[in-house]
A and B are shown apart, each in its own frame.
Chain A
Amino acid sequence: MTNLEPDNEITRADLVQRVALMESMIAEGRKSTVRFGWIFVLWGLIDIGGIAWEYRWPSFRWVWPIVMVAGFAIQYAIFAVRRRTSRPVYTNSVQSRSIAAVWSMMGLTALLFVAAAIVENGTGQIAFVSAILMFVGMAHATSALILRWPAQAAVAVLWWAGGIATYFLSWEYFLSIFVGEMFFGMIAFGLYAMWLDRRQEQDGRASAHA
Chain B
Amino acid sequence: MPDGLPELDPVVHGKLRLAVLSLLITAEEADFTWLRDKTGSTDGNLGAQMLKLEEAGYVAMEKRFAGRKPQTLYRMTVAGREALANYVTALKYLLGAAL
Chain A interface (Cβ within 8 Å of chain B)? 1-7, 11-12, 15-16, 18-19, 21-22, 25-26, 28-30, 33, 83, 87-96, 201, 204-210
A1/B15 contact (C-beta < 8 A), A7-B98, A18-B91, A208-B41 known:
no
9 additional contacts, CB 8 Å, given A1-B8, A90-B29, A204-B39?
Answer: A1-B10, A5-B1, A29-B26, A29-B38, A90-B33, A90-B34, A208-B15, A208-B16, A210-B45
B78 contacts partner chain A, Cβ-Cβ < 8 Å: no
Top 3 A-B pairs, shortest CB-CB distance: A29-B26, A205-B40, A210-B16
Q: List, sorted by A's number, 12 A–B pairs whose CB atoms are closer than 8 Å.
A: A1-B13, A2-B7, A25-B19, A88-B33, A88-B67, A89-B34, A90-B30, A94-B28, A207-B39, A208-B40, A209-B41, A210-B41
B5 pairs with A4, CB closer than 8 A: yes
A91 pairs with B31, CB closer than 8 A: yes
Among B2, B33, B39, B66, the residue within 8 A (CB) of A6 is B2
A19 pairs with B95, CB closer than 8 A: yes
Chain B interface (Cβ within 8 Å of chain A)? 1-2, 5, 7-10, 13-19, 22-31, 33-34, 37-41, 45, 49, 66-67, 69, 71, 73, 88, 91, 94-95, 97-98
Chain B minimum-CB-distance residue to A17: B15
B40 pairs with A26, CB closer than 8 A: no
Shortest distance from the beta carbon of A172 to any chain B beta carbon, whole Å: 49
A90 pairs with B13, CB closer than 8 A: no
**How far is it, in angstroms, between the C-alpha of A141 and the C-alpha of B41 when the chains are bound?**
35
B14 pairs with A92, CB closer than 8 A: no
**How far is it, in angstroms, between the C-alpha of A21 and the C-alpha of B21 when the chains are bound?**
11
**How far is it, in angstroms, between the C-alpha of A209 and the C-alpha of B27 when the chains are bound?**
20
A residues near B95, Cβ cutoff 8 Å: 6, 12, 15-16, 19
B residues near A92, Cβ cutoff 8 Å: 27-30
A residues near B94, Cβ cutoff 8 Å: 4, 6, 15
Most chain B beta-carbon neighbours within 10 Å: one of A12, A90, A93, A201: A90
Count of A-B contacts judged by CB separation below 8 Å: 133
B residues near A93, Cβ cutoff 8 Å: 26-28
**How far is it, in angstroms, between the C-alpha of A205 and the C-alpha of B19 when the chains are bound?**
12
Chain B minimum-CB-distance residue to A1: B8
Chain A minimum-CB-distance residue to B40: A205
**How far is it, in angstroms, between the C-alpha of A22 and the C-alpha of B69 when the chains are bound?**
31
A22 pairs with B66, CB closer than 8 A: no
**How far is it, in angstroms, between the C-alpha of A28 and the C-alpha of B18 when the chains are bound?**
13
A residues near B33, Cβ cutoff 8 Å: 87-90
Shortest distance from the beta carbon of A198 to any chain B beta carbon, whole Å: 12
**How far is it, in angstroms, between the C-alpha of A1 and the C-alpha of B12 when the chains are bound?**
10
B5 pairs with A6, CB closer than 8 A: yes
B67 pairs with A33, CB closer than 8 A: no
Most chain B beta-carbon neighbours within 10 Å: one of A12, A207, A210: A210
Among A19, A94, A208, the residue within 8 A (CB) of B19 is A208
